[in-house]
Structure 1
Amino acid sequence: MDLDIATIEHFTRRAIDAAWIVVPSIILALIYYFIGMYIIRFLVKTVNNIFTKYEIEVSLAIFLSSFIRVILYVVLILAVASTLGFPITSFIAILGAAGLAVGLALQGSLSNFAGGVLILIFKPFKVGHTIEAQGTLGSVERIDILYTTVRNFDNRVVIIPNGGLANSSIINLSMKPTRRVELSLGVAYGTDLKKTREIILDVLKKDERVLEDPAPVVYFTNFGDSSLDLSVRCWANAADLWPVYWDNMEAIKEAFEANDIEVPFPQRDVNHYFPEGKPELTLSPEKNSN
């Protein structure tokens, strides 16, 4: 009986000693947990406010907010586990090795991810813009984290990885509200260029879509093989670029016809040289088939 009481007292003392060690650690871990949860909520809310203030793309804001929240939770769990006395060094080493392996395996995807983040943050183009990049010309339909979807003007859909898109030249045809319309024309040799210029400018003046500032201009640019080449330049709103081009090309053609201005076609003069003299032409009599 004395042995049993001594054993109980021994275990009781050990339990009390362990409690003096474990209970403060648990209390400290709980304090860390609740304070960490408050800090995480505060930081995530602050980050979301920053994203809203700078008008970060919604899809990117949601992704980055979730990513930051997960990282902060992992840090909090490691801090709480360390307070409770769990060895976390080996866990961190395993986690780092796994992250390295995943990073090497997903190198291309990570490059596309980084490119998508850069595109969504710096916004070199937006949905609806017309861009020329990676050998593709079309309208941007969607910007995802990994890929950008572009629809060509012949209705083909092109999926472009964001990694290459972010590291190459991009021509944005929709970023500015106005565009310059360029028309290349040719008139026959001997045409009065002053009169031709007045006719072209008069046609452009009648089109309300052509902007007055900068004013339209007509330049004589080249002595062509069969024509005097002219360059016509005017400005219009970006949305009116091609309608202004097509309509005025047709209107100028009709104005040329009304004012007897010849639009030439390629011509060649052929000279035949006979070193032994020009041969005489003989005509064979026609044979009557009857």
Structure 2
Amino acid sequence: MNELEALFEQGSEWMPWLVDTVINLSIGLIVFFVGKLVAAKVSHWCEKRLLKASVDQAVAGFASSILYALMFAGVALMALGQIGVETTSFIAILGAAGLAVGLALQGSLSNFASGVLIILLRPFRSGDFIDAGGQMGTVNRIELFHTYLKTPDNRVIIMPNSSIMDGSIVNFSREATRRLDLVIGISYDADIRLAKQIMEDIVSADERILKEPSCLIAVSELADSSVNFFLRPWVASGDYWAVRADLLEKIKYAFDERGVGIPYPQMDVHVHKQES
């Protein structure tokens, strides 16, 4: 009986600590999950406000990602403090662990630094069509470690920021106008003046082609099986591909109608008979 009473006494002594631990653990979990939800809502709200203020979508997405990361770290520390973890020493441990993790994750830190450089230097904006890191697409979003591109066939490419900043970046949307560089070949039997006049008429009739700078149409090369022309009109950047396709189609039809041949690659072989 004495042993049972002793057991009850020990249980009564441990009960307040156990109740406090369960309560603190429950509050800590509530703080963590609610805080995480609030951090996501706040970062999303801030992104929407930045977009309404006409801030570039890429910048708004990058800023919201940083805000969420900072708020999440604060929520995690609050939850640990509520559970009873000594946050001061925990922060010191995190600092030491962060150094070790940083050395192990140099690539990720490089991506983060590259993301900051992208935001500061602004080599492209959301909606720009770029060629970077061996990939082409429209910039959709810039985050802490990655940039999202959307291709013309609606694929999403997630690129590490470092791979973008480590190479050359071609921004096709930065300037309002672009020049088409076409090479048009005609046969040696065709009339060069007629071919040039046909191309000039087609260019003049297309309202999407700019009058200034003027279009260059000139013989560029006497090739092996064709006489090649440069055709270099200037167009608005948004009309580039449509004008390119239309020009090639119209030139082909006009050459066929006017008897201007477009040759196939060919080789003349001369056979000499040797008399015995």
Same fold (TM over 0.5): yes
Find the structure with the greater CA-based Rg: 1
Instruction: Tell me the distance in 2 between the aligned counterparts of 1:157 and 1:96.
Output: 36
Letter in 2 for 1:109: S
Query: Cα RMSD (Å) of the superposition?
Result: 3.1
Instruction: Tell me the distance in 2 between the aligned counterparts of 1:192 and 1:159.
Output: 51
Q: Using the TM superposition, give the Cα deviation of residue 64 of structure 1 relative to its aligned residue in structure 2, in angstroms.
A: 4.6
Q: Quick check: 2:66–2:144 contact (8 Å CA) kept in 1?
A: no
Q: Quick check: 1:182–1:245 contact (8 Å CA) kept in 2?
A: no
SS of 2:234's partner is strand
Which structure has the higher relative contact order (CA within 8 Å, separation 6+)? 2
User: Where does residue 106 of structure 2 map in the other structure?
Assistant: 107
Q: Using the TM superposition, give the Cα deviation of residue 137 of structure 1 relative to its aligned residue in structure 2, in angstroms.
A: 1.6
Q: Quick check: 1:201–1:217 contact (8 Å CA) kept in 2?
A: no
Letter in 1 for 2:63: A
User: Where does residue 97 of structure 1 map in the other structure?
Assistant: 96
Letter in 2 for 1:270: V
User: Where does residue 251 of structure 2 map in the other structure?
Assistant: 252
Aligned: 1:238 with 2:237: yes
Q: Which runs of 5 or more residues in structure 2 are unaligned?
A: 1-45, 75-87
Q: Using the TM superposition, give the Cα deviation of residue 140 of structure 1 relative to its aligned residue in structure 2, in angstroms.
A: 2.0
Aligned positions, number: 214
Q: Using the TM superposition, give the Cα deviation of residue 131 of structure 1 relative to its aligned residue in structure 2, in angstroms.
A: 0.8
Q: Using the TM superposition, give the Cα deviation of residue 170 of structure 1 relative to its aligned residue in structure 2, in angstroms.
A: 0.6
Instruction: Tell me the distance in 1 between the aligned counterparts of 2:244 and 2:227.
Output: 20
Q: Quick check: 1:113–1:162 contact (8 Å CA) kept in 2?
A: yes
Letter in 2 for 1:238: S
Q: Quick check: 2:65–2:143 contact (8 Å CA) kept in 1?
A: no
SS of 2:180's partner is strand
Letter in 2 for 1:268: M
251-260 or 162-171: bigger deviation: 251-260
Return closer, same or farther for 1:231/1:170 CA change in 2, 3 Å cut-off. Answer: same
Q: Which runs of 5 or more residues in structure 1 are unaligned?
A: 1-47, 73-87, 278-290
Instruction: Tell me the distance in 2 between the aligned counterparts of 1:63 and 1:158.
Output: 19
Q: Percent identity?
A: 41
Letter in 2 for 1:58: A
223-232 or 195-204: bigger deviation: 195-204
User: Where does residue 120 of structure 1 map in the other structure?
Assistant: 119
Q: Using the TM superposition, give the Cα deviation of residue 94 of structure 1 relative to its aligned residue in structure 2, in angstroms.
A: 4.6
Q: Quick check: 1:181–1:235 contact (8 Å CA) kept in 2?
A: yes
Return closer, same or farther for 1:263/1:94 CA change in 2, 3 Å cut-off. Answer: closer
Letter in 2 for 1:59: G
SS of 2:181's partner is strand
Q: Using the TM superposition, give the Cα deviation of residue 67 of structure 1 relative to its aligned residue in structure 2, in angstroms.
A: 6.9
Q: Using the TM superposition, give the Cα deviation of residue 254 of structure 1 relative to its aligned residue in structure 2, in angstroms.
A: 1.8
Instruction: Tell me the distance in 1 between the aligned counterparts of 2:65 and 2:257.
Output: 63
Return closer, same or farther for 1:159/1:59 CA change in 2, 3 Å cut-off. Answer: closer
Letter in 2 for 1:169: S
User: Where does residue 58 of structure 1 map in the other structure?
Assistant: 60
Instruction: Tell me the distance in 2 between the aligned counterparts of 1:54 and 1:125.
Output: 16
User: Where does residue 34 of structure 2 map in the other structure?
Assistant: none
Letter in 2 for 1:200: M
Instruction: Tell me the distance in 2 between the aligned counterparts of 1:225 and 1:142.
Output: 48
Please give the TM-score of this superposition, normalised by the length of structure 1: 0.64
